[in-house]
Amino acid sequence: MKNFFILLFCVTAVLLSSCQDKSSKTVTLVDPEVFLETLEKDNSGQLVDVRTTEEFAVGHLKNAQNICVTDDDFEEKIKKLDKSKPVYVYCRSGGRSARAAKILEEKGFTKVFDLNGGITSWKEKGLQTEQ
């Protein structure tokens, strides 16, 4: 009977922990229209393209700075960003920007907006880029 209660306790603990909200309070995944609208309203926002220099050169969002998340010095470069101001990140399709957003959150940035679907989704919506 004692083993039954221990097992019941363990199962309950696992179920409760899996039901907790694991969403980030810092990182917000947003669709292109919302990303653009929020960025336009926010004069203090920092727009960061986390793709490679070569990808950035082909086309990027207006006023974006390029800090490649796969470069060894990514964490060093983001130290130049203001942690108290929102950071808007994007990549090609969303994988690298999710990685960058997680790093920014871990480094103490207070608000990060991640472009859902990356610049690919942005272009599919007919939104403009520049070279």
pTM (two decimals): 0.80
| In-domain check, residue 15 | no
Say what the pLDDT of residue 23 is: 55
Strand boundaries in the chain, DSSP class E: 27-30, 46-49, 65-66, 87-90, 112-115
Do the domain assignments include residue 94? yes
The structural domain count of the chain equals 1
pLDDT of residue 96: 97
Residue 79 maps to a domain: yes
* pLDDT at res. 24: 67
Q: What pLDDT, in 10s, does the model give residues 54-72?
A: 999 999 999 999 999 999 9
- Does residue 4 sit within a domain? no
CATH of the domain at 103: 3.40.250.10
Write b or e for each residue in 30-45: b if 16 or more Cβ atoms lie within 10 A of its Cβ, otherwise e: bebeebbeebeeeeeb
**Is the confidence at residue 74, as pLDDT, over 90?**
yes
Identify whether 81 is part of a domain. Answer: yes
Domain region containing 93: 25-124
Which of 15-19, 33-37, 68-72 comes out lowest in average pLDDT?
15-19
Q: Is the pLDDT of residue 21 over 70?
A: no
- 9 pLDDT higher than 60: no
d(CA 127, CA 124) in angstroms, rounded, equals 8
Q: Within 10 Å of residue 89's Cβ, how many Cβ atoms? A: 29
- Identify whether 95 is part of a domain: yes
The mean pLDDT value for 30-55 works out to 94
Q: How far apart are CA 92 and CA 55, in angstroms?
A: 8
Q: How far apart are CA 114 and CA 54, in angstroms?
A: 21
Q: How many CA atoms lie within 13 A of 107 on its CB side?
A: 20
16 in a domain, yes or no? no
Residue 3 domain flag: no
